[in-house]
Chains A and B, each alone.
Chain A
Amino acid sequence: MHLHHTDPVRAEIIPPAAARSGGRPRPLRVGLGGPVGSGKTATVAALCRRLRDTVSIAVVTNDIYTREDAEALLRQAVLAPERITAVETGACPHTAIRDDISANLEAVEDLQERLDPLDLVLIESGGDNLTATFSKGLVDHQIFVIDTAGGDDIPRKGGPGVTAADLLVINKTDLAPHVGADLDAMRRDAEAARGPLPTVLTSVKDDHGVDPIADWISRRLAEHTAVRS
């Protein structure tokens, strides 16, 4: 289900950075989707802190109301301002990541041109419903973030985000006892819905809580570099 990097249409849409910048592959693009408040921005911030010393990162946000997420990231100073771009979505965040990805592709291209080298672009969707997924024309991999407080029946309800994302993150495990969420049931339901695709239960706000997600991304980065070279 991953888009191969030799896809001719993709090469046409975004010329590989290799053509421009001395043989470097174009950056890996990872989308983060999921309902409002599940912890996407917290995950992006934690990933940046964890990976920025070894990986050149940029972030594209897709707020419903523009710039909130971008400004949260700026406030937390997780990346330099020129590495963060906000895209407006015309009240339709899922359109901007799936049906009409033009503005997001443009933002990615601009970051690619401005920042060299660039290894990883994280694209955060504006929070949306459980059916919102990223186009393969926009991202190489997608992570779907849900949380224990949003209801422990979400993995059972499924939907394309839960069933098909390359990584499912069940966040805010620290809150599970307070909201009466059954973590074992959530894990079981997720595994039943997702077959072999991986699921991580964590609290990204905790120390090292983001590590399993960061490790997963590091492996995707390693594969990406291996495919391109």
Chain B
Amino acid sequence: MSPLSLLILGDGRFPSGGHAHSGGAETAIAAGRVHDAATLRDFCQGRLHTTGLVAAALAAGAATGYDPLSLDEAADARTPSPALRRVARRLGRQLMRAVRVTWPGPELDDLAAARPGGAHQPVVLGVAARMAALTPYDAAQAAAYDSVCGPVTAAIRLLGLDPFQATAVTAGLCGDMEHVASQAAGHAARLPAEGVDALPATSAPLLEITAEQHATWPVRLFAS
């Protein structure tokens, strides 16, 4: 295992399409719920402990080598909003294209063949982590970080937020991210005994609702 592989996978500059997605921040900002560093922190913390935990557990599960297609179905069941399911698959397909070049491996090829329209992004992330010889906990950290850093980057662009303050928001959530990642790895470790019922199903109803609204906006800067 190389911690550098984790840095590469988690880097916001990793070319997997994430830069065009705000993780719900665009609607939250338009509604005035997120307007400064403090409200951005609240938003990210809420997202991290709900859908972020689910994503981290899916990624950790996929990194253990557990059947990615079962995990993909479990991800569908845990994503009520059709718009968010579409986004997760689109991002999964885009991530797949990038990781098949950076860490090629048969497990990625198999998943790409079984889900040509894209598997859920956290599942692809977990399989990619496995190909990069990372641990399930690493994969969970990458997913947790991803769930925070998408909205933070979007807020920098949409609010003109001071980038130092915004990065301090991310850094301030390190403890939360580590906690979520270890919870997620714990869930993933129970997969062989309990099946996908071992995975958490925490959700953020407002994120689901606003994602449906966002998908109908005629004018928007971010794809989600």
Contacts and interface: CB of A to CB of B under 8 A. Distances in A.
Given A100-B15, A106-B90, A90 B223 contact: yes
B78 interface: no
Nearest to A12: B101
Given A101-B15, A103-B20, A90 B94 contact: no
A67 B221 CA distance: 10
Given A91-B157, A101-B15, A9 B101 contact: yes
Contacts of B18: 100
Given A90-B21, A103-B94, A65 B221 contact: yes
A100 B222 contact: no
B62 interface: no
B218 interface: yes
Contacts of B17: 100, 102-103, 106
A96 interface: yes
Contacts of B95: 102
B101 A102 contact: no
B221 A90 contact: yes
Contacts of B220: 65-66, 88
Contacts of B221: 64-66, 88-91
A90 B13 contact: no
A62 B93 CA distance: 19
Given A13-B101, A90-B157, A91-B158, A102 B16 contact: yes
A9 B20 CA distance: 24
Nearest to A88: B223
B218 A100 contact: no
Nearest to B217: A66
B86 interface: no
A174 interface: no
A9 B97 CA distance: 11
Majority DSSP secondary structure for residues of A touching B: loop
B115 interface: no
Which of under 10, 10 to 19, 20 to 34, or 35 or more describes the interface residues of A?
20 to 34
Interface string A84-99: 0001111110011001
Nearest to B222: A90
Contact of A95 (B19, B94, B98, B222): B19
Interface string B7-43: 0000001011111111000000000000000000000
A105 interface: yes
B101 A90 contact: no
A106 B93 contact: yes
Contacts of A95: 19-20
Interface string A1-20: 00000000100110000000
B100 interface: yes
A101 B101 CA distance: 14
Contacts of B13: 99-100
B219 interface: yes
B100 A92 contact: no
A96 B94 CA distance: 12
Interface of B: 13, 15-22, 90, 93-95, 97-98, 100-101, 154, 157-158, 218-223
Interface of A: 9, 12-13, 64-67, 87-92, 95-96, 99-103, 105-106
9 contacts: A88-B221, A89-B20, A90-B21, A90-B222, A90-B223, A100-B18, A103-B223, A105-B94, A106-B94
Given A88-B20, A102-B17, 17 more contacts: A9-B101, A65-B221, A66-B221, A67-B218, A87-B20, A90-B21, A90-B22, A90-B222, A91-B158, A96-B19, A99-B13, A100-B18, A100-B19, A101-B15, A103-B17, A105-B97, A106-B97
